[in-house]
């Protein structure tokens, strides 16, 4: 059960990172710092999202 909860938390963090990257992309702005922030949030969001989904899918719950 703990792995499933951790997977849900990771998936939510991934979705939040992707939303922040999208909002930053739509907000505009100039410079390399802005582009770096978009890439960092997007890459971390994708990694967290897919690792969380993988944990939820591959974890088997046993009846107590």
> What is the value of pTM for the model shown?
0.82
pLDDT at 64: 60
Region of 29 (left: φ > 0; alpha: ψ -120 to 50; beta: rest) is left
Smallest CA-to-CA distance from 7 within 45, 59, 46 is with 59
Gap between the Cα atoms of 7 and 10, Å rounded: 5
Q: What is the mean pLDDT of the chain?
A: 87
Contacts of 14 (CB under 8 A, 6+ apart): 44, 45, 46, 47, 48, 49, 50, 51, 52
pLDDT of residue 63: 59
pLDDT of 24-54, one tens digit each?
A: 888 876 667 788 889 999 999 999 999 999 9
Longest dimension (CA), the chain: 56
> Would you mind telling me the total number of residues written for the chain in this entry?
64
């Amino acid at each position: 059960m703990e792995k499933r909860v951790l997977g849900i938390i990771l998936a939510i963090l991934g979705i939040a990172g992707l939303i922040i990257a999208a909002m930053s992309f739509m907000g505009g702005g100039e410079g390399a710092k802005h582009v770096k922030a978009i890439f960092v949030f997007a890459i971390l969001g994708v990694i967290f999202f897919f690792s969380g989904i993988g944990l939820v899918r591959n974890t088997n719950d046993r009846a107590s």
